[in-house]
Amino acid sequence: MTDTAAAPTADWQPTACILCSLNCGIEVRLEDRRIASIRGDKRNPRSHGYACEKAQRLDHYQNGRDRLTGPLRRAADGTLEPVDWETAISEIAARLGAIRDEHGGASIFYYGGGGQANHLGGAFGSATRAAFGVRYMSNALAQEKTGEFWVDGKLFGRSRCHTTPDFERSEVAMFVGKNPWESHGFPRSRVVLKEIAKDPARSLVVIDPRRTKTAQLADFHLQVRPGTDAFCLSALLGVLVQEDLLDDDFLAERALEGERLLGVLRDLPVPEYAARCGVDEELIRATARRLAGAGSLAILEDLGIQQAPHSTLNSYLEKLLFLLTGNFGKAGTMNIHTGIASLGGDFRKDAATPVSGARIITGLIPSNAIADEILTDDPERLRAMIVESSNPVHSVADSPRMREALERLDLLVVFDVALTETARLADYVLPSPSQYEKWEASFFCLEFPANAFQLRRPILDPPPGVDLLPEPEIHRRLVHAAGALEGVDLDGLRELAAGPREAFGAAVFGLLGERPELRPHLPVILYETLGATLPDGAAAAAALWPNAHAVAQMFGDAVRRAGIEGEGFALGEALFERILRSRSGLVFTQDVYEDTFARLAYPDKRIRLTIPELVDELEGLRDELEVPADPDFPLVLSAGERRSGTANTIFRDPAWRKQDREGALRVHPEDAGRIGVADGGRARLTTRRGSAEVVVEVSDALQPGYVSLPNGLGLSYPGEDGREVVAGVAPNDLTSTEDRDWLAGTPHHKHVPARLEAA
């Protein structure tokens, strides 16, 4: 493989976009402290020079007016006042310690650990959690992906057996609740979509209630009624089974336990399910035949089904489409990728929360259950919370109730760049440099066969006159204030780190063998020892050293195929050194397709097709064939549609949006005419939880009875005169924590009962 460590030009600095999970490589040109120009980085091995239009406005993040300039503490009069770091750290450690000692570490909750591409600092959170006995945590994945992770665990033996699509080589590309033209989700998405659409031998399949820009390119658009994806997916599977379109040889060789599942699908009434989801039966049958007849099929699901009714079942049914047709473990299909680090918490067996009994998947409490664990008199309730690089007051369902819950806490500590809606409620706000002012990385390494990773060095110093600390340093200080590393010979390890790395490694792993309670503290130990030896102030990157060795140990052949040489310890060292010097990123594993089967976690390396809990739910769909409408809330609201003019909420300045500043509610012409509102007019949108005045955009891309609000709006931001301005509607002012998946607890943000009236 080509080494991507070529030096940048003097004017253009390599880094990455931080607006979605793809983190495309970009180059930026600076003028003073402003990001003046941006272009795709052709040396980046994932994006190869691709970048969408959203990245062009990253300076709105870097130089936002609401950036924090120093640590803050809640004063007696309720305001936030400046405080020095030593005081803030010592007071936080003392208060967390007191809560732990009186109520147990399980009463302290950790949320976040990094936003998009802001993961390196979050790797140090394990040390702070261990220092104060924290047991429970969550992050944004628990609003989106935990149902899918749970399904992966049941099908493949472990939740980390996550599959990824190979769209570059697929004959048929299918998107379920996903609009990659605007929300991406795989590298070079728009280029690949256009290539598929232009090729008469290839097909594009979309299941979406909206006629999105992706759906407009599709050969098969199954425009389901909102919330009926499970019926559509079930009908497709029913056709596959009933018309004998399965890959029997693949199933006989690679799968087990399919009898009950196939029996249910054999008896499924396809015409009734087609009618329920609002898709013509012949279109469903034609689509199923195209999927079964393809030489290769790759599928990507996303929030459209993961935040809707039957979300975990939807993930199961989507995966059955590629498994029953044998589209697994070969080119152009679905494969199990490598990874540089875990994205969830611990991956022990499912547990439950102490108060509400919500299922904990991959160590993550469902976000919709957090308020339930606080707003109670139960002695096991959550009493303190650490929020790192996240904004749950805005991002979690029922923002007013989440605000009430955080105000009930004995202590709230927030790490962030800006004074977010959550930070405004905090007892202490600990500010960090921006993602372009510190060493950073994204752990979203999800590609196959070539998987890439980029460690990003700072391209700017923090602004002059500010008092900021990067998250690794904040965690280090909290851990020492808690006394968690007393008795550890850090000076001795530091001396060893300056010499041959193998001796240092032996000492570190020997220490962990003698004192296993120190394992969660390893990132801080490495930061203080190995980190001091790394060039250019890259101490935070020391946390990647054990990851490099773990990747080399687990995926050694794939690492060597990526052009990184060595055996044993030397291979891990070579990978770590390549990570440090590859400024535009590197391919760290190069897979062959048979690797997918080797990565199945079941000892016999075979897939388990029947998941009893979800087959029960599948059978229960018949009871929902006739669901009466609610006359008080006759519409379905998608609260948080991704559009070309929206991104994640680190873009807080509404000026970044060149059009649609208020984030219009999209409404079908029939619904707009019924209430007497025109395009650009104003209306009152009401749900069971709240109400808001909205600007209306009349659009026939939606179905009658379906309306949508964009994500990323409703944030408080200082205007030119310093007064706070809120542009648009915060979607979670309108959502409810009760509307969630029964199994994974993921919210129904894409299916909110609503009504609309002229304002």
How would residue 646 be classed by pLDDT, with cut points 50, 70 and 90?
confident
Q: What is residue 2's predicted lDDT score, i.e. its pLDDT?
A: 35
How would residue 5 be classed by pLDDT, with cut points 50, 70 and 90?
very low
How far is Cα 129 from Cα 376, in angstroms, rounded to an integer? 23
Q: What is residue 117's predicted lDDT score, i.e. its pLDDT?
A: 82
How would residue 342 be classed by pLDDT, with cut points 50, 70 and 90?
confident
How would residue 114 be classed by pLDDT, with cut points 50, 70 and 90?
confident
Q: What is residue 115's predicted lDDT score, i.e. its pLDDT?
A: 77
With a cut of 80, say whether residue 119 has pLDDT above it: yes
Long-range Cβ pairs for the range 347-351 (8 Å, 24+): 347/158, 347/159, 347/160, 350/150
Q: What is residue 658's predicted lDDT score, i.e. its pLDDT?
A: 85
With a cut of 90, say whether residue 628 has pLDDT above it: no
Averaged pLDDT, 688-710: 97
With a cut of 70, say whether residue 345 has pLDDT above it: no
Contact yes or no for 393/649 (Cβ under 8 A) = no
* C-alpha pair distances (Å), 526 with each of 482, 508, 661: 18, 9, 45
SS3 content of the chain, % helix, strand, coil (to 5): 40, 20, 45
194: left (phi over 0), alpha (psi -120 to 50) or beta: alpha
With a cut of 60, say whether residue 49 has pLDDT above it: yes
Query: 3-class DSSP state for residue 141?
Result: helix
First to last CA, the chain: 60
- The one-character DSSP state at 179 is -
pLDDT tens, 352-379? 999 999 999 999 999 999 999 999 999 9
Q: What is residue 722's predicted lDDT score, i.e. its pLDDT?
A: 87
pLDDT tens, 175-204? 999 999 999 999 999 999 999 999 999 999
With a cut of 60, say whether residue 4 has pLDDT above it: no
pLDDT tens, 590-604? 999 999 999 999 999
Contact yes or no for 459/28 (Cβ under 8 A) = yes
pLDDT tens, 434-487? 999 999 999 999 999 999 999 999 999 999 999 999 999 999 999 999 999 999
Q: What is residue 287's predicted lDDT score, i.e. its pLDDT?
A: 98
Q: What is residue 468's predicted lDDT score, i.e. its pLDDT?
A: 98
pLDDT tens, 489-503? 999 999 999 999 999
Contact yes or no for 135/106 (Cβ under 8 A) = yes
How would residue 349 be classed by pLDDT, with cut points 50, 70 and 90?
low
pTM over 0.85: yes
pLDDT tens, 225-236? 999 999 999 999
pLDDT tens, 400-447? 999 999 999 999 999 999 999 999 999 999 999 999 999 999 999 999
How would residue 161 be classed by pLDDT, with cut points 50, 70 and 90?
very high
Q: What is 289-300 written as a DSSP string?
A: HHHHH-S-EEEE
Number of H helices, E strands in the chain: 27, 32
Contact yes or no for 502/508 (Cβ under 8 A) = no
- In this predicted model, which residue has the larger pLDDT, 343 or 73? 73
Q: What is residue 344's predicted lDDT score, i.e. its pLDDT?
A: 58
How far is Cα 46 from Cα 339, in angstroms, rounded to an integer? 14
What is the rounded average pLDDT for all residues in the chain? 95
Q: Report residue 88 as tokens.
A: 């803030």
With a cut of 90, say whether residue 648 has pLDDT above it: no
Of the chain, the percentage scoring pLDDT greater than 70 comes to: 98
Averaged pLDDT, 43-70: 95
How would residue 1 be classed by pLDDT, with cut points 50, 70 and 90?
very low
How far is Cα 544 from Cα 559, in angstroms, rounded to an integer? 16
With a cut of 50, say whether residue 525 has pLDDT above it: yes
Q: Report residue 326 as tokens.
A: 């044998």
Of the chain, the percentage scoring pLDDT greater than 90 comes to: 93
